[in-house]
A and B are shown apart, each in its own frame.
Chain A
Amino acid sequence: MNDMNHDSYVTADGRTIGGVVMEMKNITLRFGGVVAIQDISFDIRQGEIRAIIGPNGAGKSSMLNVISGFYNPQEGDVFYHGKKRKPMRPYQVARQGIARTFQNIALFEGMSVLDNIMTGRLHQMKAGLFSQALWAGRANREEVENREAVEKIIDFLEIQSIRKTPVGRLPYGLKKRVELARALAAEPSILLLDEPMAGMNVEEKEDMSRFILDVNDEFGTTIALIEHDMGVVMDLSDRVVVMDYGKKIGDGTPDDVRNNQAVIDAYLGVAHD
């Protein structure tokens, strides 16, 4: 890593972006003969909102799954806090402080909103089985602390009114918000959002955008998100990676990317003659 990566800078809206937290180096991911990701490198800096965009089938979700350990790439390395990461299972990645949401929402449908968000804090609980069962000492303290943290997130995302509702009964937009809340409950150092605005109407999209910005601003959480709605991404993110057919075709600030000919071609289509 060169020195430039450790320089922090201050954005136009006054947020401080730190050094590199995560670096993907020459990642290649194949499914049988299909190459989903081909030799892609990029990094994520402390405190920034990093977007990965691209048309359908570009390999964005695959990339997110590599970061969160659901896929292990055939080639290339993932560096987390400067250390090379061994191939890992998703739950191990989660325990390292990388939380995520899913494109198709993966919530515990049978549990209440509160219980769902509490599961986000499971690996923060250290008390033994018996003290938990007896509600004694450390377990009691932990439960109180965890509840406080969760209530703060519930307030923050404005879902107080549905705290006790079983998640299965909620409309789509609220489910997305609960999933975000659960990911936040883990107090992640990197938050991965897989198409947080997919399937939402304009109003819901605006809400979600606001929450993403607020989370980043308030908690300083580093966020990497996937989206194919260009407009939303350009407003939200500090830097953008553009993928097409498994390759990286652009990387830079929203303005850089907007003016990049390869990106324009990928999105608008180009005549091959």
Chain B
Amino acid sequence: MPEQLIFGMEVFLNGLMAGVLYALVALGFVLIYKASGIFNYAQGVMALFSALTLVGIMEGQVPFGHLINAIFGTEIHGFGWHVPAFAAILLTMGVMILLAVIVQKCVFRHLVGQEPIILFMATIGLAYFLEGVGDIMWGSEIKKLDVGLPQGINTLIDETTFGWFGYGFFIDNLDIVATVIAALLVTALVIFAQYTKQGRAMRAVADDHQAALSVGISLNFVWVMVWSVAGFVALVAGIMWGTKSGVQFSLSLIALKALPVLMLGGFTSIPGAIVGGLIIGVGEKLFEFAIGPMVGGATENWFAYVLALIFLVFRPQGLFGEKIIERV
């Protein structure tokens, strides 16, 4: 087998894995957009915030430590304990649910029936607010996140492929775990949305507010629930990205990569978010591999956006989105 093809296959697989992580972030967007029509700009920051909180809780960091020290002249930095990863994840989930309640009670409850652009602006505000709170609460230095997920080269794949091609593929264990978790997450979300009472209520609210009210569904409850679920997805994404590249504030920028993913997949489709993520992941890796050297590299920075632009021209609703029909 030609060497280029074998390299290409490795790049393809790595692209798939990277795509899974994009898809995880995009999934959070789709959930909120489907249920409330809000494009949540803060989804990426929510992932960052959850990762910061998780590290903070695990390390026994005192929330608002810097602030407390500055005001009271104290020198406290940690409680001196370490919380096991599993407990810390549960606690962080609690924080994300609390955040969902606060966001609904303080912001979106007062904006019911407003134009989508106003809701969008509110989420931009929320994004910067949350970033600031995360900074004051947990500090802005880059942190290492280790919840015990396996990392490093998968030797089984390395050896098997070496046996086949005489060249071992480099696949990170973390990426494999991320793929499995993403698959589980999507299955769980689909079951939740299709077969549970709460999921039915969520779909009902997404479809028609008045009708939902008339069958006894509380809009407030459903929205808090949706933001909590989005918080959970953000937490999963935060753990994956945080483990991979450290918990740092540039994490919130990965949200921007989710945008082209959504344009490809459609803003309203859960499978769309997955497929869109995979296409972007594979596309940008393969493009960099095949075309990159000819144009001086660094194509990964713009490839996704150009692809999204092309999609916008030819299929604005995305691959799986609902067709936009304007009745006049």
8 Å CB contact of A91 from B198, B217, B322: B217
**B216 near A122: Cβ-Cβ < 8 Å:** yes
Contact A122:B207 (CB < 8 A) given known A102-B214, A133-B191 = no
Q: How many residues of B contact A (CB 8 A)?
A: 25
**B208 near A123: Cβ-Cβ < 8 Å:** no
**A129 near B218: Cβ-Cβ < 8 Å:** no
B245 — which chain A residues lie within 8 A by C-beta? Answer: none
Q: Which of A39-47, A107-115, A207-215 contacts B (4 or more CB under 8 A)?
A: A107-115
B312-328 residues at the A interface, CB under 8 angstroms:
322
8 Å CB contact of B215 from A110, A120, A129, A135: A120
For B197-219 the 0/1 string (1 means CB < 8 A from A) is 11011011011101111111111
A123 — which chain B residues lie within 8 A by C-beta? Answer: 215-216
8 Å CB contact of A111 from B196, B203, B210, B322: B203
Is B195 part of the contact surface with A, judged by Cβ < 8 Å? Answer: yes
A94 — which chain B residues lie within 8 A by C-beta? Answer: 213-216
B197 — which chain A residues lie within 8 A by C-beta? Answer: 122, 125, 127, 132
Which partner residue on chain A sits nearest B191 by CB separation?
Answer: A133
| Chain B interface residues toward A at CB < 8 A | 188, 191-192, 195-198, 200-201, 203-204, 206-208, 210-219, 322
**B192 near A133: Cβ-Cβ < 8 Å:** yes
Which partner residue on chain A sits nearest B196 by CB separation?
Answer: A132
For A78-97 the 0/1 string (1 means CB < 8 A from B) is 00000000000111101100
A186 — which chain B residues lie within 8 A by C-beta? Answer: 215-216
| Cα A252 to Cα B161 with chains together (Å) | 87
Interface centre among B192, B213, B217 (most CB of A within 10 A): B213
| Cα A256 to Cα B206 with chains together (Å) | 46
**B213 near A91: Cβ-Cβ < 8 Å:** yes
Is A99 part of the contact surface with B, judged by Cβ < 8 Å? Answer: yes
A60 — which chain B residues lie within 8 A by C-beta? Answer: none
- B204 CB, min distance to chain A CBs, angstroms: 5
B219 — which chain A residues lie within 8 A by C-beta? Answer: 91
- B81 CB, min distance to chain A CBs, angstroms: 31
